[in-house]
A and B are shown apart, each in its own frame.
Chain A
Amino acid sequence: MPKILIANRGEIAIRIMQACKELGLDYIAVYTKEDEASLHVRRAIEERGKESVFRISSYLDPNEFLEVADYTKCDAIHPGYGFLTENYRFARRLAIRKRPLIFIGPRWEVLREFGSKINTKCIAKRLGIPVVPGSDKPIYNEIEAENIALELFHRQWEEGIKRPAILVKASMGSGGMGIEEVTHPIELRRVYRRLRQYVKRQFGDEDVLLERKFPVFNHIEVQLVCSQHGEAVHFGTRNCTIQSVFRQKRIEVAPAFNHNYKYQFDPEEVTKRAIQYSLKMADYVGYDSVGTWEWIVTPEGQLYLLEVNPRIQVESGVSGSITKIRHLPVGVDLVKEQIRIALGEKLGYKQKHISFHGASIEFRLVAEDTKCGFKPWGGTITKFQLPKYDWLKVYTHVPSDRPYSIPSDYDPNLALAIVWGRDIEEAKERGEKFLNEIKIEGKNQEASIVTNIEFLKEKLKKIQMFE
């Protein structure tokens, strides 16, 4: 029985444990000092006993994971998302060290390809896939950058956009880090320089790219599942337009477009094209895991590749919950699929066996002040009760039977809730019902708890629209 080291915390750790349990695999869990009270630790101790839970000092130190893995004779490491997930060096180290371990995720070569946005754009370009207009190779000096920026501004102006803007992005950045907006060419040099410095400090690579900013757009994603045997299927699309100011997703909807709305384009055709391009690119690089291709759709139906996320995503559950394979009940656990693929199994189904039923919305419940620039809130939660329905799936690491203090080292995510409905309207209704029924109390020295529930309610009305 292969043993898996779960190198992550919180909600994803619980999801991986669940998947392992269903697949009949053994696992080892880790936690840091701040996470002692987290549910994932409690669950691991309950299921596997104290000797298979290890305390480490940081989720970012590969050495500690490997030490634990070697000590417990693990066969694979699941990095979850964030932390070491997209670190191709970590994946490579697992693959080529003396005692190799399976990295549950894509090959390290693929991780390296998609680690840099510039590189992703280059590959897309080679395949004839549209990318966001802007630079698509390393920029060597500021004059060159300024020329590109001027060109981008000029084009937007020609199109009649009143407030043209461009984005300066770090090639290595992820999770909304290292992106800045420029609204006039005169600001460019300052922002460019500052971002370069920041990026160099943060990621050790100073490549920066310039991209046009779209004032109105929808952010859609294509969920792919590819196996090591060359099989590739898609699990539909998602719409992740609702984001915090730091470009972190807050509401995800599957499928991407609502057929009841009137769009300026044919949503069927656009999603089909996005899926087609995604599969083409996955085939080209030889992708061999669960991954997401992110696209930008303009109100006119223009499709641009944004980036590729070679990992399991937070929102993978939302796609899973509307999918049905053959005659099995609706709902596929993509974490399970990912582990199976990484262990070398074949998919066992083809695209024609996959069908989609209903619609699904995912909410990310976060303790943050949405009115004050999404400032994270820290303190102790004294009461946390979520409603229970058969159409609702909740993943949380916050215990409901005892007070829980939010660790200040990580994002103050509280829960992940996936609501399913027969169509999108029903899902929205149910979502609102769910949001209304959350009971949460907590306080710190200054104030009582602030969450983004109101923000979610307000934004729920506007999902899948262009505005």
Chain B
Amino acid sequence: MLELEKKIEHLRKDLDYITDIKGEIFGERLTEIRNWLSEIAKKIYELPRERAETALNDIEAQIEFFEQEAEKYLEPLDYVRIARHPYRMTLKDILENVYDDYTELGGEEKCNIDPAMVVARATISRRVGSRVYTHQVMVIGHEKGHGEEFRNGGSAKPWGNEKALRFMRVAETEGIPIHTYIFTPGAYPIEDPPGAAQQIARNLYAMARLKVPIIAVISEGGSGGAEAIGLADLRLMFSHGYYSVISPEGAAAIEGKIKEGQDLPPELVKSCAEQLKITASENLKLGTIDRIIQEPPLGAKGDDFEFFNQLKHEMIKATDEVVLKVRGLSVLRGYYVKKKTGEKNNAVYVRWELDEKEISKLLKQRAEKYENMGRGFFADRRSFLKKRVDEVCYGWLKIKSLLYFGIFKRPYRWVKRFVDDLRGEFLIITDRVLRPFTNLKGAIEKKFKRPTVQLAYEVPPKEDTYLGEIYVSPLANEDRTISCPNALRYGCYDIWVPDLYGELNGVCPNCGHHFPLEYQWYMNHLFDKHSIKEFNTEIASINPLGYQGFDEKLKEAVRKTKRHSALITFDARVRGISLVVVMLYSDFRNGTVGAAEGEKFILACKRAKVLRRPLLAYVHGTAGIRIHEGTIGVVQMPKCTVAVREYIEAGGLYIVVYDNNSYAGPVASFLGCAPYQFAIRSSRVGFAGPRVIRETTGEDVPPDYHSAENALKRGHIQGIWDRRDFRKNLYMALITMGGKNLYYR
């Protein structure tokens, strides 16, 4: 009778599951079955065994039918419900059932630095003929748990992500592939060191060139938290998972401008879920994932053992595929793996260790893969002819730089280095010989030596004293005073607006508080006069997902700013040093990053790399990834980070300067990964705004939680710059920082 009771329990769970996911379409029918089931459960010891069994089988068949029926009517929001359901499989289930043996690293259950992030050394085995081959893998992923409180719903804290990175490095040292499983609604938005955004950025930066194959599987992929372990060679996705830039509720709150504490209208949430294109099939269409792993109807639960078996083969196959792509001798196996998709016991054996050559190929392919991701979701407004001309120009630039830096400068450098060494050696000899004479000379020498550099006192040009036309912010055209927010603390006097935005550069003369200024001010004050040359201005943001009402908003932004995207890229000079600048400005859709911005960014990276110029990312303000572009926006994070990594590895200098408000995705990827990050005084840097923190963690944060001072204290940035000293500091940074391959080195 025990089996029957177990079966009843099982069926009841299934029934609950259907009710939770798609109960509304069946109405009373589910209640009837539930009543039937409880009747049988009540009378289980009275009924004859056969009758009970047949009844239960009938119920099971009914439930199965319902499941299949429900499967047909699944809507995007239902996938969200499935992915979040406590009965859904978790990483622990996968570790138990897919892998043969595993050792959890860094603690188990509650005894863990972050229970939401699980890392395990595991073995996965396959049978080829009569032999069993075992592979070592590093499994990293989020653990949602079946409803346990301490798991935090799979929201990894910054130190959880840091742990993941640490063990990725271990895997790299040991040369074993990494399987990552993404089960997260998003990262836990706290700024405690190492900082949510910064740690994700660091993870992405490391994964961009991690020397082992990485396979990622997405079940619930919530934006930044997902990307923290999601930059992989092959991205798979469960058919009943979702992958999105923001939770549908969050999108609805932003779209509908819902105030905090108000209820979200369900229709709005539903329409947002539909428009964000969060399901597996839609993501496959967008090219943000590579393949879908088919799940049983209504998704895999913790006890779908058949599915786990299938998953095991999928994982082995995926890893094989990645390895075979870079392996030299792989013609037959590559073909076999590609074609024979359905078969489970295929007779393929692939060694997963890679040698040096294969690793470099792997990294190259990874870089290419991310570079091409999200292509074609922006508009290029150039004419056909101009496109060709630009291509030719770029090619010529490449050749020129190769000729100059590769052919001319490299031997010159060798010679110079040799001569320097020679001179150093020679100096020892001459010093030895001439020592008595110099000593004698020193004795005769006067007390204060005449300086060797003769000072030429020249009358400075008139511009120095009578500054000609200077760009003055339009904010200054108002006859009123403004109060400094620190007036109570520091006793600042009210500042007259024409003075403040004119000569004082928007800085309170008493306490140094920085009032926000528009981005044009920086373009005019930071760089040498007439040195700014914009490029790629024609790359335009579009509405790739067909998001309702977004076209109008985009048009409005273009009309307001006279630009086509939220990122300006240009060549400029600072006291004679040429550099490439990318500027995210907040006037265009709040400085959000989408496909066009990502493309412009990587083009700027490439240009800086070719011309060996420093790259400055000035963030006038960014609100994160553009939610209207869905996962296309999200993949800009790994995409741009890979480009940054390539640039820095090539020996460049990448400086990020934050201003005003910089939050979320960009900070957690291509901005946060920079070795040199600075903030303008009175700016804010962080991962999520106070409201999101309150909603996700239930805690209030102090008003200066994201301030630059606190970011500095936490070690997220390297320094705070005064706006008035920006140019000077930038110049000093260009001179003193950076790799050896800059053109002026």
Contact = CB atoms under 8 A, between A and B. Distances in A.
Q: Which of B450, B451, B459, B503 has the most CB of A within 10 A?
A: B451
Interface in A139-188: 147-148, 150-151, 153-154, 157, 164, 185
B496 interface: yes
Given A63-B493, A150-B448, A96 B498 contact: yes
Contacts of B481: 63
Interface in A43-91: 58, 60-63, 89
A125 B455 CA distance: 16
Contacts of A96: 498
Contacts of A122: 459-460, 464-465
Interface in A92-141: 92-93, 96-98, 113, 119, 122-123, 125-126, 136-137
A153 B481 CA distance: 48
Contact of B451 (A93, A97, A151, A157): A151
B448 A157 contact: yes
A348 interface: no
B304 interface: no
A204 interface: yes
B455 A148 contact: yes
Contact of B457 (A89, A123, A136, A154): A136
Contact of A153 (B448, B498, B503): B448
Nearest to A141: B732
Contacts of B459: 122, 125-126
A92 B498 CA distance: 10
Contacts of A150: 448-451
What bracket does the count of chain A residues touching chain B fall in? 20 to 34
Interface in A349-393: none
Contact of A157 (B447, B453, B509): B447
Contacts of B425: none
A93 B493 contact: no
A349 B479 CA distance: 40
Interface string B501-544: 00100000100000000000000000000000000000000000
B390 interface: no
B499 interface: yes
B499 A93 contact: yes
Nearest to A93: B496
Nearest to B503: A89
Q: How large is the interface on B (under 10, 10 to 19, 20 to 34, 35 or more residues)?
A: 20 to 34
B494 A63 contact: yes
B496 A62 contact: yes
Contacts of A123: 465
A101 to B, nearest CB: 13
A97 B481 CA distance: 11
Interface string B440-459: 00000011111101010101
Given A122-B459, A122-B465, A147-B453, A154 B496 contact: no
Contacts of A98: 479
Nearest to A138: B464
Chain A interface, DSSP helix/strand/loop, else mixed: helix
B481 to A, nearest CB: 6
Contacts of A151: 450-451, 455
A159 to B, nearest CB: 12
A436 to B, nearest CB: 44
A202 to B, nearest CB: 11
A185 B496 contact: no
Contact of A97 (B446, B479, B494): B479
B493 A60 contact: yes
Describe B's contact surface by its main secondary structure.
loop
B460 to A, nearest CB: 5
A58 B494 CA distance: 12
B450 A154 contact: yes
B464 A93 contact: no
A97 B449 CA distance: 55
Contacts of A93: 496, 498-499
A409 to B, nearest CB: 13
Contacts of B464: 122, 137
Contacts of A204: 509
Contacts of B493: 58, 60-63
A123 B466 CA distance: 11
Interface in B456-482: 457, 459-460, 464-465, 479, 481
B503 A147 contact: no
Contacts of B447: 157
B60 to A, nearest CB: 80
Nearest to A150: B451
A419 B496 CA distance: 44
B449 A157 contact: no
Interface string A186-230: 000000000000000000100000000000000000000000000
Contacts of A58: 493
Contacts of B503: 89
Most B CB atoms within 10 A — which of A98, A154, A185? A154
A154 B509 CA distance: 39
Contacts of A125: 457, 459
Given A136-B457, A147-B453, A154 B448 contact: yes
Contacts of A153: 448
A438 to B, nearest CB: 38
Interface string B485-497: 0000000011010
Contacts of A137: 460, 464
A111 to B, nearest CB: 13
A153 B465 CA distance: 28
Nearest to A153: B448
B480 to A, nearest CB: 9
A432 B455 CA distance: 50
A151 B449 CA distance: 9
Contacts of A157: 446-448
Nearest to A58: B493
Nearest to B495: A63
A65 to B, nearest CB: 11
A98 B449 CA distance: 59
A228 B250 CA distance: 66
Contacts of A185: 448
A119 B462 CA distance: 11
A61 B455 CA distance: 43
A368 B13 CA distance: 91
B446 A147 contact: no
B602 to A, nearest CB: 36
A50 B574 CA distance: 59
A119 B450 CA distance: 28
A282 to B, nearest CB: 17
A204 to B, nearest CB: 5
Contacts of B457: 125, 136
Nearest to B453: A147
Nearest to B491: A58
A113 B455 CA distance: 25
A459 to B, nearest CB: 34
B465 A119 contact: yes
A38 B424 CA distance: 74
Nearest to B509: A204
A153 B503 CA distance: 37
Interface-centre pick from A97, A123, A164, A204 (highest chain B CB count, 10 A)? A204
A147 B455 contact: yes
A147 B479 contact: no
Nearest to A99: B479
Given A93-B498, A122-B464, A154-B449, 16 more contacts: A58-B493, A63-B481, A63-B493, A63-B496, A93-B499, A113-B465, A119-B465, A125-B459, A126-B459, A136-B457, A137-B464, A150-B450, A151-B451, A151-B455, A154-B450, A157-B447
13 contacts: A62-B493, A63-B494, A113-B465, A122-B465, A126-B459, A137-B464, A147-B453, A150-B449, A151-B455, A154-B451, A157-B446, A157-B447, A204-B509
Interface of B: 446-451, 453, 455, 457, 459-460, 464-465, 479, 481, 493-494, 496, 498-499, 503, 509
Across chains A and B, which 6 residue pairs bring their CB atoms closest together, nearest first? A150-B451, A61-B493, A153-B448, A98-B479, A63-B494, A147-B451
